[in-house]
Structure 1
Amino acid sequence: MIKGSCLCGDIRFETAAKPQGASMCHCSQCRKQSGGIWSSAYVKDSELTITGPVSWYEASPNAKRGSCPRCGSFLFWKAHDEDTTSFALGAVDGATGMKIEKHIFTASKGDFYEIADGVPQKD
């Protein structure tokens, strides 16, 4: 069981499913919202339990982002046409047992760092 929460604890999430697609996102939206690189993995919506007052922001015509209205933690990313939800690996309580599989949107990464871990990159 993977469990996580926002910084203040108002929002909690959990899943018994094995998360997929552990990645580091370098897109400008993730960088602006998180202040850096956003790491996440996803599970089917039906396998993710979320409790608390998630504030959903329509970041684009294709997806929305979920955060805590009290502490501001950026916790979720959800494409409108998919049956999965990504959750922030940094919000997981304890060890995740996962390894990053890929870096995504690397073409728009910040100029103040390099990606040098040898993990595959996708523009």
Structure 2
Amino acid sequence: MTDTIEGRCLCGAVRITVRGLSQEISACHCEMCMRWGGGIQFGVDAPAGGTEVSGPVEVYRSSAIAERAWCGECGSALWLRDIGDGAPYELVPGLFPNAGGARLVREVYADRAPEGYALAGDHRRVSAADYARENPVVEETE
């Protein structure tokens, strides 16, 4: 965990300050994440109580259990977050200098990654079926 780190969207209209940003990045190849970001979706966890957000944030409820947010000015992706009070943020690592110092530790829906590229390195790779089994509220997508 880091102490306090500040991040921002592309235009700087949205500012995010986090106390306790995780040092672990997850990558996701599910259909929703691929459509949302145009490719792999990366996320780094931040505690709700340690996260302050200011600026023109727009939110879209992308499923029955989660929302996705972006800057209302430049469109930069900001987070994926489960619905509910106190739910942690899964922030886009690119908001922070050097991705907040976090490193890739997990790739979900790894078996659904496009054939044209692959993430290198030694990290946990989770299949769509295994992810759905570990997270029963998530519906497996084709």
Q: Could you say whether these structures have the same fold, taking a TM-score greater than 0.5 normalized by the shorter chain as the test?
A: yes
The residue aligned with 1:120 is 124
1:27 to 24, 27, 30: 30
Cα deviation code 1:17-73 (max 9, x no counterpart): 142542111122222121221211112211111111110001111100010122111
> Following TM superposition, by how much is the alpha carbon of 1:93 offset from its aligned partner in structure 2, in angstroms?
2.8
Larger radius of gyration: 2
- Structure showing the higher helix proportion among its residues: 2
Corresponding position of 1:104: 108
Q: Secondary structure at the match of 2:35?
A: helix
Structure-1 residue corresponding to 2:139: none
Give 4+ residue runs of structure 1 displaced > 3 Å after superposition.
none
Which structure has more relative contact order (CA 8 Å, sep 6+)? It is 1
Given the alignment, which residue of 76, 92, 95 partners 1:91?
95
Provide the alpha-carbon RMSD of the alignment: 1.8
Unpaired runs of 5+ residues, structure 2, are 128-142
What fraction of aligned residue pairs are identical, expressed as a percent? 27
Q: How many residues align?
A: 123
Which of 37, 48, 66 is the equivalent residue of 1:45? 48
Query: What is the TM-score normalised by the length of structure 1?
Result: 0.88
Report whether the alignment pairs 1:11 with 2:25.
no
